[in-house]
């Protein structure tokens, strides 16, 4: 129904306007009690789907990637579509508008999206107010720095977000790989990245003591554009800092092999969707093999079918996440993936 009736209508509108319209619709459906209908259509309850990764128990291994529910507005409602976990953000200490519009582009021929949103969000403290309500799903907190914050002051921004979210999320994701904040990817270099992760590890211990609880898993989200040597550095940094895992990968700045019109493909920003499928799997496999599976990996990028999802898991991913595939294929994709996992 989604691909035949809903998607063609939504794709007639501007992508960013569709995003806001979709949120209004999902919220409305929740208020009139349609959540039970969505659950009956999309949720599979089966113990065989459960995964225990970095100390957390996931109902199933299919999550929603960061960027969709940036401000933690619909995490419970989105879980009704069958997601085993929802990642909010990227959140920054101060609210920011992000980059000027137009900043979101569909490449329908390629089943892809280019975005240069620029960490638009209402600020971490605004999100915290909504996160105080009961969660029906595991939540990841994806954190970043404000655009106006120079890289040599970036650690403070990440710590502010970490402290604010600590009590309300189940795991953290350190985003240093978005191509849409000037200079952000420089934080993936060995020295600044090691310093950042070490400070977050220290803060983790401090916050766990403050709340008389356990430390929260910390994951690093990396770009798909890293070379093999850079990926080897990432493996060494993860082992050295003893963080809990990697999310592979963010969007790409590459444009090879696209079939859409040149005017669309040359828009600045990060490319996501089907063109990322192969490279994403290569990065997952490289990390898993070269690290000897020393840490968990969440695979995200170019998952548009159950076969794509199984490929990521077989390459070494412990969990997977959807974003662009969710937009193109609809919520039925989550159920198809979970059914395929059960059939393995």
Just list the catalytic residues.
178
Q: Which two tokens stand for residue 98?
A: 């992000």
Distance, in Å, from the CA atom of 135 to the CA atom of 147, rounded to the nearest integer, reads 30
Q: Which two tokens stand for residue 185?
A: 């990817």
Q: For 314, what's the count of Cα atoms within 13 Å in the CB-facing half-sphere?
A: 9
Cis omega (within 30 of 0) on the bond before 90?
A: yes
Identify whether the C-beta of residue 254 lies closer than 8 Å to the C-beta of residue 282.
Answer: no
Tell me which residue of 320, 262, 305 sits closest to 105, measured CA to CA: 262
Ordered DSSP codes for 187-248: GGSHHHHHHHHHHHHHHHHHHHHHTTSPPPPEEEEE-TT--HHHHHHHHHHHHHHT--EEEE
Enumerate helices (H) and strands (E) in the chain, giving the number of each.
Answer: 13, 13
Identify whether the C-beta of residue 268 lies closer than 8 Å to the C-beta of residue 26.
Answer: no
Q: Which helix (H) or strand (E) holds 129?
A: helix 124-131
Identify whether the C-beta of residue 249 lies closer than 8 Å to the C-beta of residue 271.
Answer: no
């Amino acid at each position: 129904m989604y691909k035949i009736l809903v998607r063609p209508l939504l794709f007639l509108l501007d992508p960013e306007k569709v995003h806001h319209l979709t949120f209004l619709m999902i919220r409305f459906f929740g208020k009139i009690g349609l959540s039970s209908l969505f659950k009956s259509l999309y949720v599979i309850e089966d113990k065989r789907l459960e995964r225990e990764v970095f100390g957390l128990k996931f109902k199933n291994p299919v999550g929603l990637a960061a960027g969709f529910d940036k401000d933690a507005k619909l995490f419970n409602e989105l879980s009704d579509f069958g997601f085993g976990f929802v990642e909010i953000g990227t959140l920054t200490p101060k609210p920011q508008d992000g980059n000027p519009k137009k900043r979101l582009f569909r490449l329908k021929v390629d089943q892809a999206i280019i975005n240069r949103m620029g960490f638009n969000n209402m600020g971490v403290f605004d999100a915290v107010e909504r996160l105080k309500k009961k969660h029906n799903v595991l939540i990841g907190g994806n954190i970043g720095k404000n655009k106006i914050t120079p890289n040599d002051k970036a650690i403070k921004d990440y710590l502010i977000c970490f402290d604010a979210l600590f009590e309300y999320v189940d795991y953290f994701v350190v985003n240093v790989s978005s191509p849409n904040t000037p200079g952000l990817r420089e934080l993936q270099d060995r020295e600044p990245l090691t310093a950042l992760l070490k400070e977050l590890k220290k803060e983790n211990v401090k916050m766990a003591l403050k709340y008389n609880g356990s430390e929260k898993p910390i994951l690093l989200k990396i770009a798909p554009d890293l070379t093999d040597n850079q990926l080897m550095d990432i493996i060494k940094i993860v082992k050295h800092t003893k963080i809990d895992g990697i999310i592979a990968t963010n969007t790409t700045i590459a444009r090879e092999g696209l079939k859409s019109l040149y005017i669309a493909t040359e828009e600045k920003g990060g490319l996501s969707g089907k063109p990322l499928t192969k490279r994403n799997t290569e990065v997952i496999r490289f990390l898993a093999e070269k690290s000897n599976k020393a840490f968990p990996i969440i695979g995200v990028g170019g998952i548009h079918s159950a076969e794509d999802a199984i490929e990521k898991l077989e390459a070494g991913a412990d969990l997977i996440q959807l974003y662009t595939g969710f937009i193109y294929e609809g919520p039925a994709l989550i159920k198809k993936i979970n059914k395929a996992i059960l059939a393995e």
